[in-house]
Amino acid sequence: MAELTLPDGVRLHVEAHGPADAPVTVVLLHGWCQDRRTWQHQVAALHVLGARRPRVITYDARGHGRSGATNLSGATLSRLGDDLAEVLRRHAPTGPVVLGGHSLGGMTIMEFAHSHPEVFADRVAGLFLVSTTAEGHTHTQYGLPSRLAALMRAGETVGAGLLARSGPWCPHRALLPALRPAVRWLLFGDECDNEALELAMRSFGRASLRSIGGFRPSVGAQQRLETLAALADVPAAVLVGERDRLTPPPCARSIAEALPFADLSVLPGAGHMLPLERPHEVSAALTAVVDRATPARRRKAKRGAVTQLEKAA
């Protein structure tokens, strides 16, 4: 457990698990209004890999969880991408890295790839993108008919602007019981474990009004398919829930089409909170990416690809 002070003074809460000399470091980024605990099942799954065990780093994004509040100018995806670069510089300065992002975390990884392409190309050996999008709110319909979705998006945008100017307060904590049905409908699919819902609610209660509203404009506007298409032979997995109301399957399909080495999985009946809803499937997919990103495995895969090309010739 450590605290990292960013160049603009914001303090990040960072946790590291596993051996410092592991062959691969996995950095996991959580979603909007959530925190590092979103990945608790995946951290536990990677912990038991024995000799294959990677180092795992999780952290609370600025304005979330146990990290410090952000000012309004810092509540952008661009700043989150820079924050990730600083986390890597300070906590994983050498060796191959697998970047995993859920929702806002996935968008943060794309912003990092766009703003720090040299570092990305030099360090990133695997990508794990869960319930996220590279096209802002292009495909977001909240599971509603188009006209109702447009009205809801307009209301959400106006409301976000008001919340963004409300400061680093969390008065909505007192309203969590009343908000529970709406959060359950919006974030989860057909089945919802009570423990998973409670964790999502507690995380939401720790996000400030400024964080809830402040990140909304850049989240809605981001367009990074071209950034993804420019990536080289990075092993990747893209997961989405069939009933995800925030980043529905078309978001994942466009990402998978842009990435040349991506495996796409659509989980039936699942919603937006896949790391908590479907922990075993998510952990298995993440472990597979980590295996592919391990240096010895990557060298073997490249030799195999070369052999296939030689045979074809």
Report pLDDT digits (tens) over 33-61: 999 999 999 999 999 887 778 999 999 99
- To the nearest whole number, what is the mean pLDDT of the chain? 89
pLDDT, residue 237, reads: 97
Cβ-based neighbours of 299, under 8 Å, separated by 6 or more? none
pLDDT, residue 294, reads: 84
pLDDT in tens, 118-170: 999 999 999 999 999 999 886 776 776 777 766 666 667 666 667 777 778 78
Cβ-contact 39, 112 below 8 angstroms = no
pLDDT, residue 158, reads: 61
pLDDT, residue 200, reads: 96
Cβ-contact 294, 52 below 8 angstroms = yes
Confidence at 310, pLDDT banded by 50, 70, 90: very low
| Maximal CA-CA distance, the chain | 68
Cβ-contact 247, 140 below 8 angstroms = yes
In angstroms, how far is CA 271 from the centroid of its own chain? 15
pLDDT, residue 130, reads: 98
Query: Distance between CA 42 and CA 14 in Å, rounded?
Result: 16
* Tokens coding 120: 């990305």
In angstroms, how far is CA 108 from the centroid of its own chain? 7
pLDDT, residue 149, reads: 64
Tell me the percentage of the chain whose pLDDT exceeds 70: 88
Go through 223-251 and write b for each residue having 16 or more CB atoms within 10 A of its CB, e for each that does not: ebbebbeebeebbbbbbbbebbbbbbbeb
pLDDT, residue 277, reads: 97
pLDDT, residue 138, reads: 66
Instruction: Report pTM.
Output: 0.90
pLDDT at 309 over 50: no
Average pLDDT on 11-17 reads 96
Tell me the percentage of the chain whose pLDDT exceeds 90: 71
Strand partners, 102: 130
Confidence at 173, pLDDT banded by 50, 70, 90: confident
Measure Cα distances from 219 to 222, 223, 246 in Å.
6, 9, 12
Measure Cα distances from 18 to 21, 56, 60, 101, 297 in Å.
9, 6, 18, 19, 20
Q: Is 187 exposed, middle or buried (CB count within 10 Å of its CB: 0-12, 13-18, 19+)?
A: buried
